[in-house]
């Protein structure tokens, strides 16, 4: 598996002193559901911030709106495996037919210039983020799993591996961060040390699932019986928009 080098693998955010912070699960091109969720939580763009677990594209009807959302100063997303599939295909090492079958057909309907513009922006996305809370605690966001959590590697050391000078160790960490499902497949509740909570997507669950301090918030909005879920990072209150709207 080829993973192009990104501008930065990790980004941190200071505490929000003006408003609220929310984490939202994989959007998968359903920006209409995101708009409903934002209305439901009375999101205030001048004060609030939104952090996404990746996979903002593919499957849904509005993936082509990606760049407009990335331009919003309060919208912050990490890279998911669907963004990675775009980058792999553009680098000539991916599988475009497979990507298209998995919801990526919209991308190949764009012009060559548009495809390059999209890939350039996706390459800028971090693989992991950390947000400070007003309490002083830190929460993390990563798409699939914190690298080497099963070896009790702390969050700080895990995200450091994403920029390791050792190409093999870096590749292994990035692959686990983007694709792994070991924790959820075994329902392992071992906590990730060094972070208060860790929000992840990638693995679809019927409702928000907590395993130790890891919180799964991809509630399957790209499926007819799913929903898009947003969680207030301070008080952990969840809000969701169903498809279709209830």
**pTM listed for this prediction:** 0.95
Across 110-149, b (16+ Cβ under 10 Å) vs e yields eeeeebeebbeebbebbbbbbbbeeeeebbbbbbbbbbbb
Q: What is the pLDDT of residue 246?
A: 43
| Sign of the torsion formed by the C-alpha atoms of 173, 174, 180 and 184 | positive
Is 80 exceeded by the pLDDT of residue 243?
Answer: no
Q: What is the pLDDT of residue 190?
A: 97
What's the DSSP call for residue 151?
G
- 244 preceded by a cis bond (ω within 30 of 0): yes
- The domains found in the chain, sorted by start residue, are 10-242 (3.60.21.10)
Question: What is the mean predicted confidence (pLDDT) over 4-28?
Answer: 89
Q: In what order do the strands lie in the sheet with 227-232?
A: 75-77, 49-52, 21-24, 227-232, 238-242
pLDDT in tens, 135-147: 999 999 999 999 9
pLDDT in tens, 165-198: 999 999 999 999 999 999 999 999 999 999 999 9
Question: What is the mean predicted confidence (pLDDT) over 45-74?
Answer: 97
Q: What is the pLDDT of residue 8?
A: 74
pLDDT in tens, 19-53: 999 999 999 999 999 999 999 999 999 999 999 99
Q: What is the pLDDT of residue 13?
A: 98
């Amino acid at each position: 598996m080829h993973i192009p080098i990104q501008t930065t693998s990790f980004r941190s955010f200071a505490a929000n002193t003006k408003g609220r912070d929310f984490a939202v699960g994989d959007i998968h091109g359903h920006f209409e559901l995101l708009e409903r969720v934002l209305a439901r939580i009375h999101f205030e763009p001048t004060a609030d911030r939104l952090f996404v677990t990746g996979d903002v594209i593919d499957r849904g009807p509005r993936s082509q709106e990606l760049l407009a959302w990335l331009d919003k100063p309060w919208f912050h997303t990490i890279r998911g495996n669907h963004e990675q599939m775009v980058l792999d295909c553009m680098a000539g090492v991916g599988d475009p037919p497979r990507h298209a079958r998995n919801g990526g057909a919209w991308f190949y309907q764009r012009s060559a210039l548009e495809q390059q513009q999209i890939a350039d922006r996706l390459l800028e996305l971090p693989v992991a983020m950390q947000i400070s809370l007003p309490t002083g605690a830190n929460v993390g966001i990563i798409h699939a799993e914190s690298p080497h959590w099963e070896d009790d590697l702390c969050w700080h050391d895990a995200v450091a591996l994403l920029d390791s000078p050792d190409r093999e160790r870096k590749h292994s960490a990035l692959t686990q961060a983007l694709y792994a499902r070991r924790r959820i497949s075994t329902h392992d509740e071992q906590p990730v040390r060094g972070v208060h909570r860790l929000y992840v997507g990638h693995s679809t669950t019927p409702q928000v699932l907590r395993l130790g301090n890891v919180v799964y918030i991809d509630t399957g909005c790209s499926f007819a019986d799913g929903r898009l879920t947003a969680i207030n990072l301070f008080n952990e209150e969840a809000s969701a928009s169903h498809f279709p709207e209830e």
